[in-house]
């Protein structure tokens, strides 16, 4: 289960961020020394990290020490502060810059350019650590990680976030791989926040739904008949339809307005058939127009990453969405070459990707992985 709030600190000031509304609650800012009773002297001026282990306590770190604060009392427990390295078994670090609960029984602590994994149940650091941040989190640039990050956040939505200065990166929870197009500027993507921040945390989140064979089998059971009906009506291979639906909707978790395929709408469409949603596009030019442009960032390869709000279709039911998807591919001349491969789902998928179904440069690779997962779920 995901969480609804995250917390960002600068000095002694904490700014809550409403993850559901995607906006900072600047009017609800609070002070460490006011909200938490019994803090050691000087701690009200700022902290380095905080983490919830899922045990009704928040662990707060500053320098080489930490305290435990029960949620029920918001008062530092007796006997604290304690020394970090003497009380977190085997921890390689005397002080930490960031901490994050991964939701699977593991914590991650970051210090300088390195990090460790800590087992909550065993109460000890896992073997094989520390590791360099850039080595353990695929795609995070070594020069960006530099001498360390400022904060780490896992809100349970399938992505995690590292914050450094005025920038951040997003990572896929399942693969621990940085998403395409990062780093981006905090102020452009997190309304009401700017950075840099001293600490970032949230309540403990559960692990997001798995994207392995169990989830794929359930997804196939729920939506397979719609994909089969689309194949009969339009010749689009059912595996391609299911793969695109799973990829675009996060296995059905994110399909606003029953839009499982990310199909765009026009501003001139009837209001009840369209919705304005936040999305990311990768384009070759810096001057494209959208209903709302949040940010444009040039990548090292010369392409431009747009974070925008654009119009997307709304459907009455999931079945309507699947039907519209097949019709969209069949009737759009751009995808005509794909229909030369109706007996080969992977060739069909590559032709659809090559024709520009999505702007992500690795769209076919991502789609093929999902299709293989669905095939393996039989």
pLDDT computed for residue 299 by the predictor: 83
> Cβ distance 196 to 166 under 8 Å?
yes
Phi first, then psi: give them for residue 237, nearest 5 degrees.
-55, 135
Please report how many Cα atoms fall inside a 13 Å half-sphere around the Cα of residue 18, on the Cβ side.
11
Whether the pLDDT of residue 332 is over 90: the answer is yes
For domain 213-265+314-376, the CATH class is mainly alpha
- Distances 73 to 7, 37, 38, 320 between C-alpha atoms, Å: 19, 9, 11, 50
Whether the pLDDT of residue 211 is over 70: the answer is no
Q: How far apart are CA 270 and CA 255, in angstroms?
A: 20
- Band (pLDDT 50/70/90 cuts) for residue 4 is confident
pLDDT computed for residue 174 by the predictor: 80
Instruction: For residue 117, list its beta bridge partners.
Output: 108
Q: How far apart are CA 247 and CA 231, in angstroms?
A: 18
- Band (pLDDT 50/70/90 cuts) for residue 251 is confident
Which one, of 116, 135, 169, lies nearest residue 297 by Cα? 169
pLDDT computed for residue 48 by the predictor: 98
- Distances 97 to 90, 249, 316 between C-alpha atoms, Å: 17, 34, 47
Phi first, then psi: give them for residue 195, nearest 5 degrees.
90, 165
Whether the pLDDT of residue 246 is over 80: the answer is yes
Q: How far apart are CA 369 and CA 378, in angstroms?
A: 15
pLDDT computed for residue 237 by the predictor: 97
- Band (pLDDT 50/70/90 cuts) for residue 2 is low
Which one, of 183, 178, 180, lies nearest residue 159 by Cα? 178
- Band (pLDDT 50/70/90 cuts) for residue 215 is confident
pLDDT computed for residue 73 by the predictor: 95
- Band (pLDDT 50/70/90 cuts) for residue 3 is confident
In the chain, where the domains are located:
5-202, 213-265+314-376
Q: What is the pLDDT of residues 90-125, one digit of tens each?
A: 999 999 999 999 988 999 999 999 999 999 989 999
- Band (pLDDT 50/70/90 cuts) for residue 378 is low
CA angle 255, 185, 148 (to 5 degrees): 110
pLDDT computed for residue 216 by the predictor: 84
> Cβ distance 133 to 114 under 8 Å?
yes
Using a pLDDT cut of 70, give the percent of the chain over it.
Answer: 97
Q: What is the pLDDT of residues 262-319, one digit of tens each?
A: 889 999 999 999 998 878 888 899 999 999 988 888 888 888 888 888 999 999 899 9
Specify which of 25-39, 197-211, 215-229, 323-337 reaches the highest per-range mean pLDDT: 323-337
Using a pLDDT cut of 90, give the percent of the chain over it.
Answer: 67
Mean pLDDT of 173-192: 88
Phi first, then psi: give them for residue 172, nearest 5 degrees.
-75, 130
Omega into 8 within 30° of 0, i.e. cis?
no
Specify which of 128-132, 212-216, 302-306, 358-362 reaches the highest per-range mean pLDDT: 128-132
Whether the pLDDT of residue 184 is over 80: the answer is yes
Q: What is the pLDDT of residues 64-93, one digit of tens each?
A: 999 999 999 999 999 999 999 999 999 999
pLDDT computed for residue 307 by the predictor: 84
Which one, of 253, 259, 246, lies nearest residue 369 by Cα? 246
Whether the pLDDT of residue 359 is over 80: the answer is no
- Band (pLDDT 50/70/90 cuts) for residue 172 is confident
For domain 5-202, the CATH class is mainly beta
Give me the chain's average pLDDT, please. Answer: 91
Whether the pLDDT of residue 213 is over 70: the answer is no
């Amino acid at each position: 289960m995901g969480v609804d709030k995250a917390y960002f600190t600068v000095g002694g000031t904490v700014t809550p961020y409403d993850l559901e509304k995607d906006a900072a609650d600047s009017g609800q800012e609070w002070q460490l020394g006011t909200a938490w009773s019994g803090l050691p002297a000087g701690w009200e001026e700022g902290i380095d990290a905080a983490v919830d282990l899922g045990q009704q306590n928040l662990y707060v770190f500053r320098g080489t020490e930490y305290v435990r604060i029960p949620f029920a009392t918001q008062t530092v427990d007796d006997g604290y502060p304690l020394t970090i390295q003497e009380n977190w078994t085997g921890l390689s670090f005397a002080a930490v810059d960031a901490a994050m609960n991964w939701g699977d029984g593991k914590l991650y602590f970051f210090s300088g350019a390195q990090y460790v994994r800590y087992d909550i149940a065993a109460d000890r650091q896992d073997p094989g650590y520390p590791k360099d941040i850039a080595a353990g989190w695929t795609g995070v640039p070594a020069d960006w990680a530099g001498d360390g990050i400022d904060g780490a956040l896992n809100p349970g939505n399938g992505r995690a976030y590292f914050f450094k200065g005025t920038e951040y990166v997003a990572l896929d929870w399942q693969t621990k791989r940085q998403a395409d197009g990062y780093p981006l500027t905090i102020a452009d993507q997190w309304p009401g926040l700017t950075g840099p921040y001293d600490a970032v945390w949230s309540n403990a989140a559960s692990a997001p739904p798995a994207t392995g064979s169990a989830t794929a089998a359930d997804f196939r059971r729920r939506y397979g008949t719609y994909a089969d009906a689309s194949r009969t009506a339009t010749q689009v291979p059912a595996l391609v339809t299911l793969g695109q639906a799973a990829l675009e909707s996060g296995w059905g978790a994110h399909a606003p307005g029953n839009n499982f395929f990310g199909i765009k709408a026009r501003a001139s469409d009837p209001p009840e058939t369209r919705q304005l949603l936040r999305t990311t596009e990768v384009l070759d030019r810096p001057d494209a127009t959208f209903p709302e442009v949040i940010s444009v960032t040039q990548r090292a390869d010369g392409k431009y990453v747009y974070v925008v709000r654009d119009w997307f279709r709304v459907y009455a039911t999931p079945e309507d969405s699947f039907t519209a998807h097949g019709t969209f591919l069949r009737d759009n001349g751009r995808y005509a070459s794909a229909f030369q491969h109706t007996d080969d789902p992977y060739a069909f998928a590559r032709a659809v990707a090559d024709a520009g179904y999505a702007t992500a440069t690795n769209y076919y690779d991502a789609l093929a992985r999902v299709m293989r997962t669905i095939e393996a779920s039989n």
